Structure 1
């Protein structure tokens, strides 16, 4: 069983996945910072600083000043404002990731174009030149190619 585990771990796919997970974790911190520190202030500016987290309904009808107070009291709370915040954050994060992926794809395309320009053309006769030579040889009746 230990040998099978070693083979499994040594496979390229597992290592690629591990690297992807580690990079993804580091990337998450960057995306969260972009959303929290750069984008959310603008969203707050446009929405007048509305904080949806304090939008809630206590299911037993009790009154509490804040969501935290209701939760600390152990009340059954329908915290729809937190859900709204989560949806807004998801949309912002999805948009930021879209922009980052779009930028990375653009860089990859530019690198591929540069590599194409650097690569030399085909070496030797072209396909058309070879066909012309074969045609001429056949026209002369020569069977050697």
Structure 2
């Protein structure tokens, strides 16, 4: 079985594009190549969780709320992303509601969150989120 080159794999965010043409360009791109809106940043962050790219996640987390480090759950497998809504605001803020599905140890999980983002210095940053239901 031939494994596709990393840049030609389908993007984990579910866009139906290859990784290199979608979220991968933000992960590996120069600093001036930034996600154009909060939804694109959220999708690229989901893909970074799938790929366990802690550097990208920390760089796109607002400094006010950014953790010192990220640890990934061993054995966690991300299964898909559904963006429910993207609410851009006129004040450089936006919200993105999404559901991310995963599996760990044979058990399926859903992460339903409304994430808050802010646009500062020409870049979008993840600030925090509100979880919905369990």
TM-score range, shorter chain: under 0.3
TM score, norm. by length of structure 2: 0.18
Provide TM-score, normalisation by structure 1: 0.17
Greater fraction helix = 1
Q: Which has the higher strand share?
A: 2
Q: RCO (CA 8 Å, sep 6+): is it higher in 1 or 2? A: 2
| Rg comparison, structure with higher value | 1
